[in-house]
Amino acid sequence: MGKINGCLKCVFFLLNAMFGIFGGLMIFGLVKAQAVEPQLPSAVGPWLWAGLWVFSLGMLMVSILGETAATTEKTAMLKVFAGLVVAVMIIMMILGIVMASYRNKVKVSFENISPDIVGEMMAENNIREILNDAQGPLQCCGFMSYQDWGNSIPGSCKCSESTFCTNRPGNLDGPAIIYSRPCFPIASDLLDLALTVSMGVLFGFAVTALLCLKASLLMIRQVRRHNGGRGGQAIAMTAPGYKLTPGI
């Protein structure tokens, strides 16, 4: 019979599996993103990219350590795991708070965007290329309207088989039928959704880390109890016995 309760160990395994899956998905996402866009690490910053890799691998290693500690039922490994889980929980909470603050700032910035800012953005060739690539999938045209493109509307604004179509003004060049809605509100809503989901994931894993910490502490107590507290019972069991002689 093991030292740790079977139900507790199963719950602990499931909680750790979530960390392993999360770390594995992050590693897969980083590899896939770099394969699609090789310049992504330099775009987001080498330090941030390295931090994402360290965090992803750390999540996977914490999961492996937890599974190993529960399997071997070693208090030393369970203590190390508990310490790492505390660090993960703190990091998750900090990232969640930072994400919430960043989400609010982005939302305020998007609401206060002005035509002058849009004009400055459209003057950048890389911004124009990004917008041109996004218009087809998002079914939109221009940041705030098709007028952002000036007198020549690109082919990516061409609308077909969509409810968001309108006729191109006759004084402009480009497709005869274009998307009627701008891209900026759509991108803003998508970014807000992505940040909200990220916040939920971070706070959710912070709660999972707290549950893992609680489970690891319970398992440490069960192992100690099975071994006789801090060793007193084990020593008593191995102490030499004495045979009582009748009449003495």
CA distance 151 to 245: 114
* Stretch 41-53: mean pLDDT: 77
Q: Tell me if residue 167 falls in helix, strand or coil.
A: strand
Residue 178's φ and ψ, nearest 5 degrees, are: -125, 165
Question: What is the structure's pLDDT at 247?
Answer: 46
Domain coordinates in residue numbering, the chain: 6-112+203-230, 115-185
Say yes or no to pLDDT of 92 above 50. Answer: yes
* Stretch 189-213: mean pLDDT: 86
Q: What is the pTM of this model?
A: 0.67
Q: Tell me if residue 177 falls in helix, strand or coil.
A: strand
CA distance 100 to 240: 64
pLDDT interval class at 237 (50, 70, 90): very low
Look up the CATH superfamily of 115-185.
Tetraspanin (1.10.1450.10)
> What single letter denotes the amino acid at residue 32?
K
**Residues found in the chain:** 248
Question: What is the structure's pLDDT at 162?
Answer: 65
